[in-house]
Structure 1
Amino acid sequence: MQPQHALSINLTSTKEGKRLLCLLSASLASLLLFILSFSCRLPSPLSSRPRLQSNPPIPFREPSSASASTTPPPPSLAYFISGSNGDGDRVLRLLHAVYHPKNRYLLHLDSSASQDQRERLALAVQSVPVFKAAGNVDVMGKPDTVNPRGSTVVSATLHGAAIMLRYLEEWDWFINLSASDYPLITQDDLLHLLSFVPRELNFIQHTSHIGWKEYRKLKPIIVDPGLYLLSKSDVFYGTQRRDMPNAYKFFTGSAFAILSRKFIEYCILGMDNLPRTLLMYYTNVPASHECYFHTVACNAEEFKRTIVNENLQFAAWDSPLKSTYRMLELVDLDNMTKSGAAFAQSFKRDDAVLDKIDEVVLNRQSGKVVPGAWCIGKGRDPCVVWGDADILKPGAGARRVERLLIKSLANETFHSMQCLSE
């Protein structure tokens, strides 16, 4: 059964939709001015090549001239979602929460999980009609060992990014999520906002103020057995400490980042040897995922001016030293939403706060994807019938993140907060 055109959600066809788009477009004027002043060249719009299989089980409405968007073409995001032993259900829930047909998804259960868990995750993905029809979700069959105390997190992240560069086309930003992360806005919100942003930008929260990390994380020499053993083992420390290098400046910050495709290509395929030099050094640095991309970007002339010192993620520290993040709970929900962040970390498995985010923030039902303008069906699951994925319906979440973006990209803060040396 083909979907009726009357069911198609087009923001330009209703008074409410026009008002919402006008509000967002007006308040994003400063972003557009920033784009005009940005020195990098904007990429051409994404190809409209169909991503569906030849005989999709879900009806597909071809885009029409009447549904053309008045905003810039939306980008495509490459999500690398990682989990560990027993995290298959958490990864699947997170996938439902961040799903959109325009994006690409690669799911990874590390080597501590059994092959049976990976196979069950792959079967669960294939059992969801929209995932199967769009063909934009894959599961890694050969796992990597991941130890957040060592350097294997960077290795696994680069591996996932390399796969997405090699096999998945037409994406603009790379986002690495853990099974304990969760979104605070819909993908319609996020894609709409990123439509107004130069696609060369990298959202990396960073600082050169190393402080106590110099003694505890940069001078120690560690060995991560995950680089050479099949079984997962904890890192061990050498007896000596090394001097700080002077060939490049160190930067550290949050492990979460939103990285441009161009920067990912530079790290993996670039002819400049800086990414490989730093990768060799960070092999023996504790928790190198909190430093590697930050240091590469801030020491590369091509990318140091493309960094936004804001990663759009909410996190709460467990102590004034800011050594580790604490688990978020229901009492944190108000602060999370008011922060303007697009994502948050970290959550306990199936915590009540996740159900509350689904209910009041994402409007997501259990076992279903977050509905967007591309969902044009009726009933409990409107995404059973879907249409033009380029049509977006931004809501309250977009307005929250918009304020944070405008503040981060303002002329008086954007360049002044980049790669400062202290």
Structure 2
Amino acid sequence: MVAAGLPHIKHQPAESQPCFATMDIDIDTPSSSPRGRPSSCAGIDLRCLLSVVFGGIFTVFLLGASQAALPSASLFLQRYSAATQRPSPPRFAYLVSGSKGDAARLRRCLLALYHPRNRYILHLDAEAPNSDRAELAAFVAAHPVLAAAGNVRVVEKANLVTYRGITMVTTTLHAAAAFLHGPGAAGWDWFINLSASDYPLVTQDDLMDVFSRLPRDLNFIEHTSDMGWKAHARAKPLVVDPGLYLKTKRDLMWMNTETQKRELPTAFTLFTGSAWTVLSRPFVEYVISGWDNLPRTLLLYYGNFVSSPEGYFQTVACNANEFRNTTVNHDMHYISWGEPLGQHPELINATHWGRMLGSDAPFARKFGRDANDVVLARIDEELLARQPDMLIPGGWCMGNVGAGSGDDHCSAVGDATLLHPGLGAARLQRLVESLLSEDNFRPKQCKIVEHNN
């Protein structure tokens, strides 16, 4: 007996059913209705219908899952611009590296980068005398704010670092591991590597304000798979970094470049870019732990690579399924390479000011060793509001407020979560919105360019 109101379905034998079988559906409607006459419609076999329905549901599920795994740039921008409640400020873990003669520059850079929520490691390589490290450590220990916060470490057992060698990468990994397992290991979100030649163009309040509204798995890594001349000049030659086994600094040791060249890899795709990065904590944990062995494999490969710091993190991120979709193709630096483009950046001088500010980048390089550099002095005064030999001010400052201009307004720590972002935050926000736009984010993310071996 067929229940009233339900259509009567006539089935064909299963072996003779086409995918779209005929189905007679009789619906009784009142004669007064304009549609009140019997009708016969072409139908669908029930099993085919159910297959289509469940297939559609499964497809929608897959699409939803893929969207969750690969969020669009517009989603990032929506999170960024439409946040109604400010999340807690992020914490940054800074490695600031230098060599012989850089102790004063590291000290100045630290004061310009400082915030009590952050973590800092200062590394003067083994070429610098022990007296420089001792002097730097004494400065940190004697400073009332730095000593009280306990968030600055000076590396005592320094690494020997070779320019363009793998020891630049291993020193960065050394600091990253220390941040993950040392004091304050649980309290940071992004790892930033800088050198004594770098300097900030925004305050830490500016940086925290902008990054507080970003997904904390983003990795700012300038990268491209278009190796160009680097494929033959850097990837194929075999070099050895003497910093791995000698106590004195030497240049890279080149093998016989005529007879001992290697092919480009086929097990992974090479990427190259800037040595300066802003790496998320999840990515740093992956690189240090290497649970699928890719980071260790690539570390061995890049051990004989020319300028390995410009390729290691790029190649790891873009060959790892978990992280290739988290890359933002920018190194967050203003760097001038000159005209025509050179292999080494220009020293920044007063003529770069407009372009440097117009880049909206939070950091700039390369600055020289002149303690009286007029550009650094102008950055301190106009962009950072930092007085000579004093910490950069921020919402956390509580001490000597309202005192004379010669007094330190940040001699004590108040509420470290209180931010006072300024014009630097507006500039950085403009850069981030551009980087995460539909035109720049996905289209410039780990794209593979074919090249001849």
Mapped to 1, the partners of 2:412 and 2:249 lie a distance apart of 43
Mapped to 1, the partners of 2:339 and 2:250 lie a distance apart of 27
For the 8 Å contact 2:121–2:153, the answer to whether it is kept is yes
TM-score, scaled relative to structure 1: 0.83
User: Number of aligned pairs?
Assistant: 363
- Which of residues 266, 275, 282 in structure 1 aligns to 2:286? 266
* Equivalent residue, structure 1, for 2:433: 406
- Which of residues 182, 198, 220 in structure 1 aligns to 2:215? 198
* Equivalent residue, structure 2, for 1:159: 174
Q: Does 1:257 align with 2:277?
A: yes
* Equivalent residue, structure 2, for 1:186: 203
Secondary structure of the residue aligned to 1:394 is coil
- Which of residues 222, 227, 241 in structure 2 aligns to 1:224? 241
What is the Cα deviation at residue 92 of structure 1?
A: 0.5
Higher strand share: 1
What is the Cα deviation at residue 385 of structure 1?
A: 3.0
Query: What does 1:12-411 align with in structure 2 at a 5 Å threshold?
Result: 31=76, 33-34=78-79, 70-167=85-182, 168-169=184-185, 170-239=187-256, 240-349=260-369, 350=371, 351-377=373-399, 378=401, 379=403, 380-411=407-438
For the 8 Å contact 2:206–2:422, the answer to whether it is kept is yes
What is the Cα deviation at residue 215 of structure 1?
A: 1.3
Which structure: larger Rg? 2
Deviates more, 1:376-385 or 1:188-197: 376-385
Q: Does 1:415 align with 2:437?
A: no
Tell me which amino acid in the other structure corresponds to 1:214: A
* Equivalent residue, structure 1, for 2:37: none
Deviates more, 1:362-371 or 1:382-391: 382-391
**CA 320–219 in structure 1, closer or farther in 2 if over 3 Å, else same:** farther
Structure 2, unaligned stretches of length 5 or more?
A: 1-73
Mapped to 2, the partners of 1:74 and 1:322 lie a distance apart of 38
Query: What are the Cα deviations for residues 351-395 of structure 1, in whole angstroms up to 9, with x where unaligned?
Result: 221111111111111110110011133123111133111010110
Mapped to 2, the partners of 1:178 and 1:123 lie a distance apart of 20
For the 8 Å contact 1:34–1:409, the answer to whether it is kept is no
Tell me which amino acid in the other structure corresponds to 2:397: C
**CA 122–245 in structure 1, closer or farther in 2 if over 3 Å, else same:** same
What is the Cα deviation at residue 241 of structure 1?
A: 1.2
Mapped to 1, the partners of 2:197 and 2:130 lie a distance apart of 21
Secondary structure of the residue aligned to 2:255 is strand
What is the Cα deviation at residue 238 of structure 1?
A: 0.8
Q: What's the C-alpha RMSD, in Å, of the aligned pairs?
A: 1.7
TM-score, scaled relative to structure 2: 0.78
For the 8 Å contact 2:79–2:213, the answer to whether it is kept is no
For the 8 Å contact 2:201–2:363, the answer to whether it is kept is yes
Tell me which amino acid in the other structure corresponds to 1:99: Y
Structure 1, unaligned stretches of length 5 or more?
A: 1-28, 38-68
**CA 70–35 in structure 1, closer or farther in 2 if over 3 Å, else same:** closer
For the 8 Å contact 2:328–2:441, the answer to whether it is kept is yes
Tell me which amino acid in the other structure corresponds to 1:154: V
Query: What are the Cα deviations for residues 186-242 of structure 1, in whole angstroms up to 9, with x where unaligned?
Result: 000000100000110000011111111111111111011101111111111111211
Mapped to 1, the partners of 2:177 and 2:307 lie a distance apart of 21
Secondary structure of the residue aligned to 2:410 is helix
**Which has the higher relative contact order, 1 or 2, with Cα contacts under 8 A spaced 6 or more apart?**
1
Mapped to 1, the partners of 2:77 and 2:353 lie a distance apart of 31
**CA 36–330 in structure 1, closer or farther in 2 if over 3 Å, else same:** closer
What is the Cα deviation at residue 335 of structure 1?
A: 1.2
Mapped to 2, the partners of 1:320 and 1:304 lie a distance apart of 32
Structure 1 residue ranges (4+ consecutive) displaced by more than 4 angstroms after TM superposition: 29-32, 34-37
Deviates more, 1:344-353 or 1:95-104: 344-353
